[in-house]
Structure 1
Amino acid sequence: MNKSFTHLSKKGVHMVEVSDKPVVKRTAVAQGKIYLQSETIKLIENEEIKKGNVLTTAQIAAIGAVKSTHHLIPLCHSLRITGVEVDFKVKDEEIEVEVSVTSMGKTGVEMEALTGASIALLTIWDMVKSVEKDENGQYPSTKISDIVVIKKEKK
């Protein structure tokens, strides 16, 4: 069995050449969850977190992360992002984020959607860490999980 690695060359590593691929509309949707104490969720919903509006800040962070993905992931192509949507489902003890990314390009936008979802969740954690910490400064009930691509398409 002869394996061929797309990012390796005889000289080391390289970015995959995509110039011969057609430009098409590409969309990817990623989601993830952060588990928080129910008291923290109430503070977020009532906009009582001292750092500010948690979900709006997380949206801004996610959009910035999508646009910066190629700076964060080695060998990831920079893409012409044409749209980003960041939505939240707030439940009693968790917040789910969904990030949808669209581009006109030659390669997919899954990494951008995953990066956006991850950074949205990390931003939420950062903004609520003062109320999530226990008396020892630990986070026994705070958890980020289930970061996945739920949809990928090209047209």
Structure 2
Amino acid sequence: MAELTHFNDQNRARMVDVTAKKVTARIAKATGQITMHPETLARIHAGTMKKGDVLAVAQVAGIMAAKQTSNLVPMCHLIPLTGVDIHFSDNDQDTITAVVTVKTKHVTGVEIEALTACQISLLTIYDMCKAIDRGMVINDVHLLEKDGGKSGHFTYDAAK
């Protein structure tokens, strides 16, 4: 297991110094799901939710969240993002899946940005639908893949 780097010599929290790291292209993909009543998903499909186009708003919210990650996660670096894309799919029954891709050309990765965008897009779906379905469940949010930087390529292995 790698040494933890977010502690200084007094064993107190610090933001890791990335000054000496090389600028490389970096990408991270995260996914998650929200499960709801079938009637809720049907209304999302029909576009009849009172708050508007649920997936359009959730997509914008996720992109905004990715850009604000360093304001939300204390030890996260402010990173200039070069791309954020969110795709939604569903099982035509009761579950929407979000897949978020975040890119940068910088000295540190964008995993936290991808995970934050995923969570906030799903939370936005919850917010927009909660008036008719308070029992929705956000689950299985995780990193699918990351590439770039010293630690190299990572792909999620569901078998672990």
TM-score scaled to structure 1, two decimals?
0.90
Alignment correspondent of 1:6: 5
Alignment correspondent of 1:106: 107
Q: Which runs of 4+ in 1 moved over 6 A?
A: none
Partner SS for 1:65 = helix
CA distance in 2, matches of 1:86, 1:62: 7
CA distance in 2, matches of 1:33, 1:101: 18
Partner SS for 2:131 = helix
RMSD of the alignment, in Å?
1.4
Equivalenced residues, count: 146
1:62 and 2:56 equivalent? no
Partner SS for 2:4 = coil
Alignment correspondent of 1:146: 140
What percent identity do the matched residue pairs reach? 39
TM-score scaled to structure 2, two decimals?
0.87
Query: Where does structure 2 lack aligned partners over 5 or more consecutive residues?
Result: 150-160
CA distance in 2, matches of 1:81, 1:69: 11
CA distance in 2, matches of 1:147, 1:95: 12
Alignment correspondent of 2:31: 31
Partner SS for 1:124 = helix
Offset at residue 4 of structure 1 (A)? 5.1
Aligned AA (2:24): V
Alignment correspondent of 1:17: 17
1:46 and 2:40 equivalent? no
Alignment correspondent of 2:157: none
Bigger CA radius of gyration: 1
Aligned AA (2:34): I
Query: Deviation per CA, 1:80-125, whole angstroms, max 9, x where unpaired?
Result: 1000000000221100000000001111100000000000000000
After superposition, residues 67-86 of structure 1 pair within 5 angstroms as 67-86=67-86
Query: Deviation per CA, 1:16-50, whole angstroms, max 9, x where unpaired?
Result: 11111100010000000000111110100110000
CA distance in 2, matches of 1:94, 1:79: 32
After superposition, residues 88-127 of structure 1 pair within 5 angstroms as 88-91=88-91, 92-127=93-128
CA distance in 2, matches of 1:14, 1:152: 24
Partner SS for 1:88 = strand
